[in-house]
Copies of this chain bind each other. A is one copy, B any other.
């Protein structure tokens, strides 16, 4: 929903143009977010075969009606009750008479690949990864609108959750209130498993909410996002402190904030992911916390929570207008806790636009309960 059929058709013709330059007759797509991007299909079982401007969507009868509601301009191939998806794939590829097709090497399983090779002796399968992902890297205006809706739901939900925050609540209870609140503002669900981490748990970049309790001077790290029914999502982190911050929290927090702001300032077309990562990493290293920042600085997102491009030491790709990325430096100190601050930023022709605007000064992060 919310992405128009016109837009899906436009994406498909863009993809068909890419394919026509490649030395194979068609492409078998198996990565569901790629299929959703090109067709709107939001179910959990499908393959898409592309030949020129023709798109065959392969699925099963549970989804026949849904595909009618969500998609248009496709040939629909529904597997028979006594057929597997693999049987259907073989049947359709044979019927279409394809001789050389690209396959998505990053998601097609070895079992499927070997069986297709075996049963389709006259068909050459050519692994080719990232074609749709490359289109998805630059968002169109409908996608950016969906991401803005997602951020709106996420931020309003966060602020409602804050109004119910109490000393004595566990991480799990805070998570439950937050996720309920997101939905009240239109989210279909979360962008990924919400992280709510108190005190020493905040030292784990991917902490699972547990039984730790919010105390009088606790650190509270929340990393979360709202997923809309369109599949688009966002990714936000705030680190708060109950009561007045300790000197240590203040020091660590301000280093992370400075690193984040400097990296955001530098975002613009033409700069590489590595260059942006370095800006934040240098500030954190200079403050003596280099070893406590073990992950990349940020990543693209959209239909998936981690998409190209990455802001990381190994990322030579350059930013382009229409990309959206997170910027999320962190410092993690085992036994004590951690601080991460994360915002979502759109790259524009002239530079960038910060899409998220939850407060993040140290002052605003001190919560008095």
Residues of A within 8 A of B (CB): 42-44, 61-63, 65-66, 81-82, 103, 105-111, 113-114, 127, 129, 172, 176, 179-180, 183-184, 188-189, 193, 203-210, 229, 294-295, 313-314, 334
A207 contact set on B, CB distance < 8 A: 66
A108 contact set on B, CB distance < 8 A: 109-110
Contact of A110 among B42, B110, B176, B334 (CB under 8 A): B110
B82 and A313 contact, CB distance less than 8 A:
yes
5 A–B pairs (Cβ distance < 8 Å), ordered by A: A43-B206, A62-B205, A65-B203, A82-B314, A110-B113
A334 contact set on B, CB distance < 8 A: 65
A65 and B204 contact, CB distance less than 8 A:
yes
B189 and A180 contact, CB distance less than 8 A:
no
Contact of A206 among B62, B81, B314 (CB under 8 A): B62
Q: Which residue of B lies closest to A83 (CB)?
A: B314
> Please, how many angstroms separate the alpha-carbon atoms of A60 and B94 in the complex?
42
B208 and A42 contact, CB distance less than 8 A:
yes
Copy total for this chain? 2
A180 contact set on B, CB distance < 8 A: 176, 179-180
SS class of chain A's interface: helix, strand, loop or mixed?
loop
A109 contact set on B, CB distance < 8 A: 105-110
Interface centre among A63, A204, A295 (most CB of B within 10 A): A204
A61 contact set on B, CB distance < 8 A: 294-295
A63 contact set on B, CB distance < 8 A: 206
A103 contact set on B, CB distance < 8 A: 110
| Minimum C-beta distance from A39 to chain B (A) | 15
Given contacts A42-B208, A109-B109, 16 further A-B contacts (CB under 8 A): A61-B294, A61-B295, A62-B206, A62-B294, A62-B295, A63-B206, A65-B334, A66-B204, A66-B206, A81-B294, A103-B110, A110-B113, A113-B113, A172-B183, A176-B180, A180-B180
| Minimum C-beta distance from A191 to chain B (A) | 13
Q: 3 closest Cβ contacts across the A-B interface?
A: A105-B111, A61-B294, A105-B110
> Please, how many angstroms separate the alpha-carbon atoms of A8 and B229 in the complex?
38
Q: Which residue of B lies closest to A63 (CB)?
A: B206
A206 contact set on B, CB distance < 8 A: 43-44, 62-63, 66
A111 and B129 contact, CB distance less than 8 A:
yes
B203 and A193 contact, CB distance less than 8 A:
no
> Please, how many angstroms separate the alpha-carbon atoms of A314 and B86 in the complex?
14
> Please, how many angstroms separate the alpha-carbon atoms of A61 and B204 in the complex?
9
| Minimum C-beta distance from A28 to chain B (A) | 11
A111-B129, A294-B61, A295-B62 known; A313-B105 Cβ under 8 A: no
> Please, how many angstroms separate the alpha-carbon atoms of A183 and B194 in the complex?
14
A229 and B208 contact, CB distance less than 8 A:
yes
| Minimum C-beta distance from A61 to chain B (A) | 4
B127 and A110 contact, CB distance less than 8 A:
yes
> Please, how many angstroms separate the alpha-carbon atoms of A113 and B204 in the complex?
31
> Please, how many angstroms separate the alpha-carbon atoms of A301 and B110 in the complex?
24
> Please, how many angstroms separate the alpha-carbon atoms of A136 and B32 in the complex?
26
A313 contact set on B, CB distance < 8 A: 81-82
A66-B204, A107-B109, A229-B208 known; A184-B176 Cβ under 8 A: yes
> Please, how many angstroms separate the alpha-carbon atoms of A271 and B356 in the complex?
57
| Minimum C-beta distance from A150 to chain B (A) | 15
